[in-house]
A and B are shown apart, each in its own frame.
Chain A
Amino acid sequence: MTVGVPALEPSDETLAARAAGGDNSAFELIVQRYQARVFRLACRLTSDTEAPDVLQDTFLQVYRHLQSFRGDSRFGTWLFRVATNAALMHRRSDARRPAESLEMYMPQFDADGRHRATPAELQVASCADELLDRRVLVEKARDIIARLPDLYRDAFVLRDLEEMSTADVAQALGIEPAAVRQRVHRARLMLRGYLSDLLGVKP
């Protein structure tokens, strides 16, 4: 019986070890493998105009600090931590973002703690991608994520947009998993309410 042999690609950890030992082609493969995801993360945490710089900083840091990757986390987790730090450093050097309250998008309750909105109103946000023009949704989504308070934005981007585990997000941001959950929850509530509002419905 012949068994098909899948094309074997070196693992991230193998490439990292080779690159740390001076194999530049291994580093190039790491760049190739991760550049699109790092760029997307950078766009989500900063902006289109800042993302190319964040991308460059990230891979320069990775190149310089490969020797410090100890293998106590997966290489991808470590690389994303480097990218997150690069993005946050960039944002800190840019003080133009005003803090904005998005409390108006939080769900509303009556005195007995019941939802004020009807089931149909409460559900409408789940169809936002079907009900809104795609271009409008893309533009609005990027805008509202940029308007989230930084604490919520960072946790939401890593946990829900990059789909990292809560434990990995906690490590990347240097906070407890419970704090990650609390921040992601607040972001989800605000964004859910914002999608409702875009569709002309109260949150």
Chain B
Amino acid sequence: MNHVVCESGVDLLMDFLEGVLPAEVNAALEEHVAGCARCAAFVRSYQATPRIMREATAITMPSDVEASLRAFLRARTRAFQS
């Protein structure tokens, strides 16, 4: 049975986006989302979440961390000797 409601559709979302659902389940989910404004809105925010979190946690390495790494490797390996 491939009847999809919002709740079962949410359960399938990751597998849907990764393309690993059986074709008939895929089609049933697509059909539900196409006719459900709530799910369409939900999918948009679900898909945006990784990007928002990725950009918010994109940290730059401070120069003192880089200097410490070099000093550490200089002391313990044969690299960074000059």
A residues contacting B by CB (< 8 A) are 24-25, 27-28, 31, 35-36, 39-40, 43-44, 48, 51-52, 55-56, 59-60, 63, 107, 109, 112-115, 117-120, 122-129, 137-138, 140-142, 145, 156, 160-161, 163, 166, 181-182, 184-185, 188-189, 191-192, 195-196
Contact = CB atoms under 8 A, between A and B. Distances in A.
Contacts, number: 144
B53 A161 contact: yes
Contact of A27 (B54, B76, B77): B77
B27 interface: no
- A-side interface mostly: helix
B14 A184 contact: yes
Given A125-B45, A192-B49, A55 B69 contact: yes
Interface of B: 5-8, 10, 13-15, 18, 20, 37-42, 44-50, 52-61, 65-66, 68-69, 72-73, 76-81
Complex A-B, nearest 7 residue pairs according to Cβ-Cβ distance, in ascending order: A141-B56, A113-B5, A185-B14, A113-B7, A160-B50, A126-B48, A123-B41
